[in-house]
Structure 1
């Protein structure tokens, strides 16, 4: 009888140990998967936010490249201006694509709003009537691009 009780206790102890080990390993694996998922999302956000900031800077440059030949008092080179306009449009499409990626990856509506404001500020550069107005629009677009980058920083810091 003592042998049977000892054997039952040994079997129950083994089962309890195996069950407890399974629960602990499952929790550890889940934590590891959660960490890996969070790290992948962080890396994706870094890539998306950097790509959008860079696309905005390139679009801004394209808008300025398009503005200057149209407003300088030089003979009109309509072919060159047309090509610059097409390039600015292409750069806008790249920036919008990057913004869509930001919208998909962020959980912060305020960040998306900042991104849209920055994109719109860059788009208004070509509406400047003179260099003074252009300077204000350039400064506003530069500030909003930097504001977006600054606002995105907390979303990519390790948590």
Structure 2
């Protein structure tokens, strides 16, 4: 009888550990998927925000008054979407450096429409594109 109880206790212990490992793996995989979704959504929001800011710049510098106002409001909407995606990144990442890089990337993209001329715009486009790519590369290490 003592052997049966000991065997049942050992079996229960092994089963509990197996269940805990499975649950831990499932939680880790779910977090990984959420991070992939959040990081890619943020990068996508930045790309869309960047595109709208370039439209805004061209509207203003080509004196398309009716388009300029619409582009300005659209850029506000896209910035809000990018910030929402950034908040999700901040909630899901455990790396403070990645969160800071995400903020810095948003700032670099936001500066795009402040370019003085086409050469300045081209440089800001390059910087913002490189910043987005660097964020994606850094985020990749966390998934």
- Measured after TM superposition, the shift of residue 71 of structure 1 is 1.1
Q: Distance in 1 between matches of 2:41 and 2:122?
A: 25
Out of 47, 61, 65, the residue aligned to residue 71 of structure 1 is: 61
Shift of 1:154: 1.3
Length-normalised TM-score, structure 2? 0.97
Report the counterpart of residue 34 of structure 1 in structure 2: 24
* Residue 127 (structure 2) aligns with: 140
1:59 lines up with 2:46 in the alignment: no
Moved over 3 A (4+): none
Structure of larger gyration radius: 1
The equivalences for 1:33-112 within 5 A come to 33-72=23-62, 76-112=63-99
How many residues align? The count is: 143
Structure 1, unmatched stretches of 5+, are: 1-10
Match of 1:15 in 2: 5
Q: TM-score when scaled to structure 1?
A: 0.88
SS for the counterpart of 1:152 is helix
| Structure 2 alignment gaps of length 5 or more | none
Instruction: Identify the residue that residue 6 of structure 1 maps to in structure 2.
Output: none
Residues in 2 aligned to 1:37 and 1:24: alpha-carbon distance in whole angstroms: 20
- What are the Cα deviations for residues 19-58 of structure 1, in whole angstroms up to 9, with x where unaligned? 0011100000000000000000000000000000000000
d(CA) in 2 for partners of 1:154 and 1:77?
Answer: 43
Please provide the CA RMSD for this pair.
0.8
